[in-house]
Amino acid sequence: MRVLVVVPAYNEQQALGGLLGELAAVKLDDGDALATVVVDDGSRDRTREIAAERGVRVLRLSHNLGIGGAVQAGLRIAHRERFDCAVQLDGDGQHPPSELARLLAPLREAEPPDLVVGSRYHGGGGFRSTVLRRLGSWWLCVVLRVIARVHASDPTSGFRVYGPRALALFDDTYPYDFPEPESLAVARAAGLRIAEVRVAMRERQGGQSSIAGLFGAYYMVKVTLAILLAYMRARGRTRREN
């Protein structure tokens, strides 16, 4: 299986070197080939240089597109170069590469899912998080369940595996506003199979969360609306194509 690891990174010079070192040490099953592409999302620090020094492929976006645009650029490469799947692994070091094998395991099943989401909370996972963050996550779970009938325990997780059908879909259309939860709704509307796997995650090794403070509540309102609209748009699109 040819696997492309897509690492979106924006000003991640602190965490990226260690992350790429860990990735290089990952051992997968025989016959699996792992390639890595760092998508430098217009960083102003040494992110690009650090990635290049490690000998991985570097995609240099001329300006900051946000996580959605950066991830889609990586997924486009995976789709066009006919990789069997792509793994999204955030450049801030939250996602331990040692969990890759666990995340890829569902793709070896007889009927593999199209999208595998690594979850901190699946099966009552013991990941420590703030009350507000857990509350926000719970709200998104409810919204996704009601609107798109997606049962996800960690909808904001960016630790994911995209199978060929998901790569084809997201090469064509990918949500830029709130990509993680929205993409679940889009995938469901397009009839993709979504699975969840419990994974361990770490605190971010560097950088800052884009969702903090009072913006959290505003974020929830916006993301709820975005999920609804993304689902409606994707449903309409699927109907037109059929």
Partner 1 sequence: MQENELYWNFGAGAGNWVFGGLCLLIVAVSIRLIVRERITLQGSMSYLAFLLVLGVMAAVPDVTGRVAHALGFAVMSNFFFCTAIALLAVLHLRALVTLSKVQLRSVALTQELAIMQEKLDRSLAELRRDR
Enumerate binding residues for partner 1 (CB under 8 A).
Answer: 37, 39, 57-63, 65, 69, 72-73, 76-77, 80, 176
CB of 65 to partner 1, least distance (A): 6
> CA dist 81 to 65, 69, 171, Å?
22, 18, 12
| Cβ 233 to partner 1 shortest distance, Å | 13
Task: Say if residues 39 and 12 touch (Cβ distance below 8 Å).
Answer: no
CB of 34 to partner 1, least distance (A): 17
Shortest separation between residue 186's beta carbon and partner 1, angstroms: 15
Output the CA angle 79-235-219, nearest 5 degrees.
85
Identify which of 102, 77, 139, 118 has the alpha carbon closest to the alpha carbon of residue 201. 118
**73 or 185: CB nearest partner 1:** 73
Nearer of residues 45 and 125 to partner 1, judged by Cβ? 45
Closer to partner 1 by CB, 191 or 236: give it: 236
Cβ proximity to partner 1, 17 vs 68, nearer residue: 68
| Nearer CB in complex with partner 1: 44/63 | 63
Sequence-distant (6+) residues with CB within 8 A of 191 are 238
Q: How many CB atoms neighbour CB 184 within 10 A?
A: 28
Nearer Cβ to partner 1 (29/172): 172
Please provide residue 36's backbone torsions phi and psi, each rounded to the nearest 5 degrees.
Answer: -125, 135
Q: Which of 226, 234, 231, 216 is nearest to 137 (CA)?
A: 216
3-state secondary structure of 219: helix
Q: Closest distance between partner 1 and the C-beta of residue 181, in Å?
A: 19
